[in-house]
Amino acid sequence: MTSKTDQHRPARLGLWAAWLLLRPFENRRFRVRIVLTLVLLLAERLAVLGTPYLFSRMVARLSEPTQLLLMPVWLIIGYGVLIVLRSAFSGLEELSYQPVSQNIQRLIAQAGLRHLHALSLRFHLERQTGALTRALERGAEGVDTLLRLSLFNIGPAVLDTVLTVIVVLHLFGLLYAVIILVAMLAYIAVAQWFVRRRVHARRARNEASSQAQHLLVDSLLNFETVRHFGNESHEHDRYEEARLRQERASIRMTRIANLSSVTQNLMIAAATVTIMLLAAHDIVHHRIGVPQFVLIGTYLRGLYQAIMALNMVYAGWRNARVDLEHLLELFAVTSDVKDPGQPGFLPLTLEEGGPASITFDHVHFGYQPSRKILDDISLSVPAGGKLAIVGTTGSGKSTIGRLLLRAYDADQGQVMLDGIDLKDLTQTAVRQAIGIVPQETMLFNDTIAYNIEYGRLGASMDKIEEAARAAQMHEFVASLPEGYQTLVGERGMKLSGGEKQRIAIARVILKDPRVLLLDEATSALDTRTEQGILEALRKAARARTTISIAHRLSTIQDADHILVLEKGCVVEQGDHASLLAQNARYAAMWRIQSALPSGLPQSDHPPA
């Protein structure tokens, strides 16, 4: 799921390190609620421990013939009051903690999303979207589970166990305490053996579940491709196989859990029978009375409930660790593109700083050490200039755009805006100063207005409509029944390719960047639609520094300068007329494309 060359990941992220990384105790309100919850927990445990004692005192009073004339009213009322208080304290604990729980999950999920957005493009090109969403969801729940188990299980269970053993030792003697301790140790050893197997089974179930989720999301995201090739049955079979693996893993986990429960209950029953037989023997020999028999039975039941709670805590803690694994790995991932400690200043909008100059100075770059993409690339675009980059598939055209956006850093050389090395600028500043119209525009499943407004969040409706007019789409939007409130569908599937490109142009205009990057912005469109889009792009490019990455040479004839790339090197450069006069690679490409019938698709290749 992550790249070995892009990130550093520790072999094992300790649980305490995870706790320090994820703990949300950053405000006073959280701490107050946690303290209040602990106070309520202490009160509840005192009520729980006092209940058996009062019950044994009632049995003692009612077992004495001389005391039958006086009903132990105060004991009965006190017993009832303790039961009510125990229930009330338990409910108040949940009310006190629930806001903390929800805030924890929200904060962890937000921290995870922020971290994912901060990671480099290299990571996201290798991601599995379904696995990432599940990791965020499980990780948030896992952090809440750790805190909940600490508050509601570990503390009460340890307190109950210690107090019960002390009471038994004091009231019944060493033999009872030894039997209880031996039974406890045996129970814990067996429980841990089962827990380890349950953890392995849960991890296998989680991996199978993540894979099934990934296949489902990937299939739905590529819905049109699946339908175009008639591969619905293939997708169904792949998903069914993944769900079968998940089903088998879930059944195995359930079997282990049930066998664990049966075995542990048998051990509890055996220890309880042994203690009860010993207590009955002591009653016969008048060493203890019936009230003590009732008391030890009650405390014994409470003791085993506490041990079972600790066992569940251990299992729950380990299970939460399994659920946290992917999120912890994500938090341990670091991006290979980092912001400088003291970034330089760069005006972000055309209004603030005018068009920006662009310089590539002897730039070398490869996605992998063994895969060199750009070799000694140098180019200079003056402020307000128009540069076009053309070349064959895999020549490195789109890679230049990615370096300009600082999706990657150059291996050697410098990429500069206004003479400032991009490594000396924050990634946010670079991307705010550059507007991009990609080959395929990805839209949010929201309204047309929101997708345009995404170029400058908080823009007024007047500004949005002004940008739409500049992109030559206002009349189309106004003709829709819902107008700008029309939903575009998942990834904009309700709109045509040209309509999506116009939205991309409108939000770039609204963004008002100093540099405009056109990454094969019209290559997926028919010729008629392309002409309308080109006119809108010309308006957007006015007064801006523009880099056009293109396959169709007819779209870049008016560029001030054209670079021809081949295998990562600049092999020709000049304007359109001079390149035709050279009668070399560019001229050959022009003759081939000019010979194609109008409207015939000229490119089916992915960006370089």
pLDDT in tens, 282-313: 888 888 877 777 777 777 777 777 777 666 67
Question: Which among 299, 270, 310, 302 has a CA at the least distance from the CA of 188?
Answer: 310
* Banded model confidence at residue 65, pLDDT cuts 50, 70, 90: low
Instruction: Report H helices in 222-338.
Output: 223-228, 232-284, 290-332
| One-letter identity of residue 245 | R
The rounded distance, in Å, linking the Cα atoms of 442 and 444 is 7
| CA-to-CA dists, residue 144 to 99, 109, 114, angstroms | 11, 11, 19
Domain check: are 323 and 359 in the same one?
no
The pLDDT assigned to 18 comes to 47
Residue 490 domain-assigned (yes or no): no
Domain check: are 367 and 399 in the same one?
yes
In this structure, what CATH number is given to the domain that contains residue 404?
Answer: 3.40.50.300
Residue 483 domain-assigned (yes or no): no
Domain check: are 273 and 369 in the same one?
no
How far is CA 525 from its chain centroid? 34
Residue 598 backbone dihedrals phi, psi, to 5 degrees:
-60, 135
The pLDDT assigned to 19 comes to 56
The rounded distance, in Å, linking the Cα atoms of 472 and 466 is 10
The pLDDT assigned to 550 comes to 86
Residue 387 backbone dihedrals phi, psi, to 5 degrees:
-115, 135
The pLDDT assigned to 604 comes to 36
Q: Which residues pair with 437 in a beta bridge?
A: 518
In sequence order, the 6+-apart residues with CB closer than 8 A to the CB of 387 are 358, 379, 381, 546, 547, 548, 559, 560, 561, 562, 563
The rounded distance, in Å, linking the Cα atoms of 462 and 508 is 16
Q: Each residue of 66-101: pLDDT tens digit?
A: 555 555 677 788 888 888 888 888 888 888 888 887
Residue 465 domain-assigned (yes or no): no
Question: Which among 165, 147, 153 has a CA at the least distance from the CA of 101?
Answer: 147
For residues 605 and 390, the answer to whether their CB atoms sit within 8 Å is: no
| CA-to-CA dists, residue 351 to 28, 398, 510, angstroms | 43, 27, 12
**H-run or E-run covering 571:** strand 569-574
Domain boundary among 272, 298, 332: 332
In this structure, what CATH number is given to the domain that contains residue 173?
Answer: 1.20.1560.10
Domain check: are 328 and 371 in the same one?
no
Statement: residue 360 has pLDDT above 90: yes
In sequence order, the 6+-apart residues with CB closer than 8 A to the CB of 172 are 279, 288, 292, 296
Statement: residue 54 has pLDDT above 80: no
**H-run or E-run covering 515:** strand 515-519
The rounded distance, in Å, linking the Cα atoms of 531 and 467 is 19
The pLDDT assigned to 7 comes to 41
* Banded model confidence at residue 483, pLDDT cuts 50, 70, 90: very high
Residue 277 or 531, more confident: 277
Total number of domains in the chain = 2
The rounded distance, in Å, linking the Cα atoms of 172 and 178 is 11
The rounded distance, in Å, linking the Cα atoms of 406 and 422 is 7
| CA-to-CA dists, residue 259 to 59, 198, 265, 341, 533, angstroms | 38, 11, 10, 56, 67
Point out the least confidently predicted range of 511-525, 543-557, 577-591: 511-525
The rounded distance, in Å, linking the Cα atoms of 523 and 543 is 24
* Banded model confidence at residue 197, pLDDT cuts 50, 70, 90: confident
Instruction: Match 């300790």 to its residue by tokens.
Output: 14
Domain check: are 276 and 145 in the same one?
yes
Question: Which among 8, 201, 196 has a CA at the least distance from the CA of 119?
Answer: 8
Instruction: Report yes or no on whether pTM surpasses 0.85.
Output: no
Domain check: are 318 and 226 in the same one?
yes
Residue 230 domain-assigned (yes or no): yes
Q: How far apart are the first and last CA of the chain?
A: 23
Three-state SS at 85 = helix
Question: Which among 66, 281, 45 has a CA at the least distance from the CA of 162?
Answer: 45
**DSSP structure class, residue 349:** B
Domain check: are 306 and 410 in the same one?
no
Question: Which among 297, 594, 488 has a CA at the least distance from the CA of 288?
Answer: 297
For residues 533 and 522, the answer to whether their CB atoms sit within 8 Å is: yes
The pLDDT assigned to 515 comes to 92
Domain boundary among 332, 366, 390: 332
CA atoms within 13 A on the CB side of 379: 31
| Neighbour tally for 23: CB within 10 Å | 15
Task: Specify the pairing of strand 434-437 against strand 358-368.
Answer: unpaired
Domain check: are 25 and 132 in the same one?
yes
The pLDDT assigned to 254 comes to 87
Q: Exposed/middle/buried for 590, CB within 10 Å: 0-12, 13-18, 19+?
A: middle
Task: Specify the pairing of strand 386-391 against strand 545-549.
Answer: parallel
Q: Strand order in 371-381's β-sheet?
A: 371-381, 358-368, 412-417, 420-421
Domain check: are 363 and 321 in the same one?
no
Domain check: are 87 and 176 in the same one?
yes
Domain check: are 37 and 76 in the same one?
yes
| One-letter identity of residue 567 | K
Q: Each residue of 427-443: pLDDT tens digit?
A: 889 988 999 888 888 88
**H-run or E-run covering 562:** strand 561-566
The pLDDT assigned to 284 comes to 85
| Neighbour tally for 252: CB within 10 Å | 17
Residue 506 domain-assigned (yes or no): no
Residue 79 domain-assigned (yes or no): yes
Residue 10 domain-assigned (yes or no): no
The pLDDT assigned to 461 comes to 93
The rounded distance, in Å, linking the Cα atoms of 110 and 426 is 21
| One-letter identity of residue 599 | G
Q: Give residue 295's domain range.
A: 15-332
Q: For residue 118, what are its two tokens?
A: 């901060």
The rounded distance, in Å, linking the Cα atoms of 476 and 536 is 14
Instruction: Match 């500069």 to its residue by tokens.
Output: 416
Residue 282 domain-assigned (yes or no): yes
Domain check: are 328 and 373 in the same one?
no
The pLDDT assigned to 240 comes to 92
Q: Across residues 414-419, what is the average pLDDT?
A: 92
How far is CA 596 from its chain centroid? 47
Helix axes 129-149, 174-221, angle to 10 degrees: 160
Q: DSSP of 105-139, one letter per residue?
A: HHHHHHHHHHHHHHS-HHHHHT--HHHHHHHHHHH
For residues 145 and 316, the answer to whether their CB atoms sit within 8 Å is: yes
